[in-house]
Amino acid sequence: MRTLVVGGTGMLAGVVRALLDEGDEVFVLARRPMPFQHPRLHPLGADDTDANALQPGAFDRGVVWIHGTALEAPSQQVRGPCWHVLESAATNPARPGSQRRERFAALGNDDREVILGFVVEGNGSRWLTDEEISAGVLHALHHDLKRHVIGGVEPWSARP
Ligand SMILES: NC(=O)c1ccc[n+]([C@@H]2O[C@H](COP(=O)([O-])OP(=O)(O)OC[C@H]3O[C@@H](n4cnc5c(N)ncnc54)[C@H](OP(=O)(O)O)[C@@H]3O)[C@@H](O)[C@H]2O)c1
């Protein structure tokens, strides 16, 4: 399995490690180097808006941290399922028709989404840890979930 991970140098590093343990060839698109090496780890040091960064070939599946401008570019190189990791703002009820949501809806049947929510605990709430994010993304991959919210996004007013 050739898996593309965008954001693998950050909060998705745990996803990279787990997929390597599971036997994948893992291609990490990021500007920084990975903090570790592995025979099946292939760093693609580039900005994700660089149209030439992914020319080496197609991927069987993808985990793509979506930030700012680049939505379609990396995922178009994935010929199988692609999990788009989105901030909780993607579910903001005050912005149901946000540009990002409309663009996502226009993508293909192989597209899936993972929403980074928050955790309500005690009298307050907090954002997710990197470990919770990676575990949640892996859960979505292992169960081929079309849509998965890590933590929760309701009530929206409870956001940290
Ligand atoms: N809901 C939650 O609980 C939760 C928790 C954590 C984060 N977040 C959200 O996630 C956002 C990012 O958090 P963070 O900065 O801590 O995440 P991060 O994972 O530490 O950094 C972002 C990742 O995206 C990559 N990246 C960024 N711009 C890129 C580009 N132009 N080309 C290629 N790769 C790029 C970075 O790699 P390089 O720098 O190596 O290129 C890095 O791997 C936050 O603003 C927050 O909204 C939400």
Task: Say how many Å lie between the CA of residue 87 and the centre of ligand 1.
Answer: 10
Q: Compute the distance between CA of residue 66 and CA of residue 98 in angstroms, rounded to an integer.
A: 14
* pTM confidence score: 0.90
CATH number of the domain residue 120 falls in = 3.40.50.720
Work out how many domains the chain is built from and give that number.
1
pLDDT above 60: residue 98: no
Q: Is the CB of 32 under 6 A from ligand 1?
A: yes
Residue 117, pLDDT score? 95
Task: Say how many Å lie between the CA of residue 11 and the centre of ligand 1.
Answer: 7
**Percent residues over pLDDT 90 in the chain:** 52
- Of 116, 131, 133, best ligand 1 pocket probe by most atoms within 8 Å of the beta carbon: 116
Tens-digit pLDDT profile for residues 14-73: 999 999 999 999 999 888 999 999 999 999 888 877 766 666 557 899 998 877 555 556
- Could you tell me the two tokens for 44? 């693609």
Q: Compute the distance between CA of residue 119 and CA of residue 89 in angstroms, rounded to an integer.
A: 15
Residue type, 25: E
Task: Say how many Å lie between the CA of residue 90 and the centre of ligand 1.
Answer: 15
Q: Compute the distance between CA of residue 30 and CA of residue 153 in angstroms, rounded to an integer.
A: 28
Tens-digit pLDDT profile for residues 77-92: 788 898 989 888 877 7
Q: How far is CA 149 from CA 60, 73, 110, in A?
A: 23, 23, 18
- Lowest mean pLDDT, pick from 102-106, 111-115, 123-127: 102-106
Range of the domain at 148: 2-158
